[in-house]
Amino acid sequence: MQQNKDLQLASELRTVLTRLIKKLRKKSITGQQLSLTERSTISLLHQHKELQPSELASMEKITNQSMSQILNHLLELGYISRKASDTDKRKVLISLTENGEKMLSQLRSERDEWLAKAIRKTCSNEEEELIKKVIGPLTKLVDFE
């Protein structure tokens, strides 16, 4: 009986989070220009500053060939740059350009503005406090392996 309740909770949580993520993607004009993996790659580069293509592929759990295609597209858009490693000239390091940083900032701003407006327009003060309280447990779920 408890397992059924656990599975129902998991299903309902997954459904609502998936819908919210899809809605957030649609509410960012900037984000609609890029695939989910391209946006995630940009976020990883922002977080780590410089990564090798193979490291990015591993983090995204995709093939090196697929990552190469993503990086080529991001390079064409001017969001990333490539340079040879100082320690091993055979290795390439990828980093965000100033345009890439600006685009990421714009994307996040568009999403945050929409979400803040949605919370303000649809939630009571008590519901807003409840959302604040649930961020901690949700973060634990994200960090769970």
Q: What local confidence, expressed as pLDDT, does residue 8 receive? A: 95
What is the CATH topology of the domain spanning 34-96?
Answer: Arc Repressor Mutant, subunit A (1.10.10)
Q: What local confidence, expressed as pLDDT, does residue 103 receive? A: 95
Q: What local confidence, expressed as pLDDT, does residue 70 receive? A: 97
The pLDDT-based confidence of 2 (bands split at 50, 70, 90) is confident
3-class SS letters over the chain: CHHHHHHHHHHHHHHHHHHHHHHHHHCCCCHHHCCHHHHHHHHHHHHHCCECHHHHHHHHCCCHHHHHHHHHHHHHCCCEEEEECCCCCCCEEEEECHHHHHHHHHHHHHHHHHHHHHHHHHCCHHHHHHHHHHHHHHHHHHHCC
Q: For the whole model, what pTM was predicted?
A: 0.79
Q: Which of 58-67, 83-92, 105-114 has the lowest mean pLDDT?
A: 83-92
Contact 53, 64 (CB under 8 A): yes
Average pLDDT over residues 77-102: 93
The pLDDT-based confidence of 145 (bands split at 50, 70, 90) is confident
Cβ neighbour number for residue 41 with a 10 Å cutoff: 28
Is residue 1 pLDDT above 80, yes or no?
no
Domain ranges in the chain are 1-33+98-145, 34-96
The pLDDT-based confidence of 111 (bands split at 50, 70, 90) is very high
Sign of CA dihedral 120, 126, 127, 129: positive
Q: What is the pLDDT of residues 10-61, one digit of tens each?
A: 999 999 999 998 898 888 888 788 988 999 999 999 999 999 999 999 999 9
Q: What percent of the chain shows pLDDT beyond 90?
A: 77
Helix axes 36-48, 98-122, angle to 10 degrees: 110
Please give the residue that has the higher pLDDT: either 62 or 4: 62
